[in-house]
Structure 1
């Protein structure tokens, strides 16, 4: 974790116990999260869901403002395609310019064009940059990419995404953490280990198989406001003791 993230934690959570972030996650756990994400319905009106997402929105706004106070600029990406070729490109350009470009939610949000309009992350914030009013999901993309990918140098692989999720849990209250677990680990597991990727024998194809679907060709997860079981979050947190063990996607 970098100095800016450490400063944020010390300011917001001065008594939080800190421990090194490593990762040891079993394949069956990733599949379990993927199945649970698939089967859990969108429930934005559930009081617990609403509380978790309200906390997440409040805290990512604080994280965004903390970045701004420390001269990290965020701008909407208004060009064609994606703002960066890959994670290495993002890290190099942010390092040289102190500017992070965000792919706006209005240009892409999951794989379903009919993503639920009542998703709390689609709510507009008061942040306007270059004439674009950011949704809370835009703010989330900015702070997650900066604090959890760029700062700790985590790429966009399955391993990197899981580590980024761990970093973000460190930056949030337990209430907001429940929502961010859905938004990160739930979606990551669905994307990399979801049942829709399995073959007829319920096996996950690998790169050497003819029916393997590379990540760049996969559908993005369906967007849902819901909470995954607390036991999954605790199991994930318990993985923060060892270096990563497992196979890349």
Structure 2
């Protein structure tokens, strides 16, 4: 059964008190906020993993609990989530994800236990690695599993965003519309911090700070890059505002 993702998002936004659903925003600004992404990448590279810092832990746990509510909204609407047990990733391209969801197929996610950053899933202090109290395929899911499902459904599928930097930024912007403003610093860290580091981090930049582009001799294909470390932390509130302004297409952001 095919499910209208925008109707599901509308229902969740209304039930969560986030306003009308058209509030799940679509990026209006072309390109990438280059300077902001670099700043976020650099901060992510420098910052510490602080899973027990009270404010960061509180925001991450609330993000996990809100993701649970999003997940249950999906399931109640008829979306079936499954663990992917094959080789590689469940969807090699975003088009495969979109086609599967449009056809009413199950949504497959890569299990956290099989891969969660360079360190794997063994971090007893990370709140995203705690049991979510929800089963997938009859097996207990972790909070991070639930986030992966909602990231693909209420992120990539909702806004038809590809699996690249621009697409992930669009997804991050959409997530800021479906999570409570009080936890936006955690949301920006989790969904924009990691991807900014992956594409613009010090490990891929040249000595002059420039980032190699596809086709250039020193360009590193995404499949050959390391995954970001999992770092529980909070991005500055001012950067949340700047990122939201960029997505809304406000010209002052790039000044």
TM-score by length of 1: 0.91
Q: What residue number does 2:72 align with?
A: 65
Q: Does 1:7 align with 2:11?
A: yes
Judged with a 3 Å threshold, the aligned counterparts in structure 2 of structure 1 residues 188 and 115 are, in CA distance, closer, same or farther, namely farther
Tell me the number of residue pairs that the alignment of Structure 1 and Structure 2 aligns: 243
CA-to-aligned-CA distance 1:44-70 (integer Å, 9 cap, x gap): 111111110121111000001111111
**Aligned residue runs from structure 1 range 130-209, under 5 A:** 130-209=137-216
CA distance in 2, matches of 1:14, 1:46: 27
Deviates more, 1:207-216 or 1:132-141: 207-216
In structure 2, stretches of 5+ residues that fail to align are: 251-255
Q: What residue number does 1:49 align with?
A: 56
Of 93, 97, 105 in structure 1, the residue corresponding to residue 104 of structure 2 is: 97
TM-score by length of 2: 0.89
CA distance in 1, matches of 2:19, 2:121: 43
Of 125, 141, 156 in structure 2, the residue corresponding to residue 118 of structure 1 is: 125
Deviates more, 1:185-194 or 1:2-11: 2-11
Structure 1 runs of 4+ aligned residues shifted over 6 Å read none
CA distance in 2, matches of 1:150, 1:43: 31
SS at match of 1:2: helix
Q: What residue number does 2:231 align with?
A: 224
Q: What residue number does 2:92 align with?
A: 85
In structure 1, stretches of 5+ residues that fail to align are: 244-249
Q: What residue number does 2:253 align with?
A: none
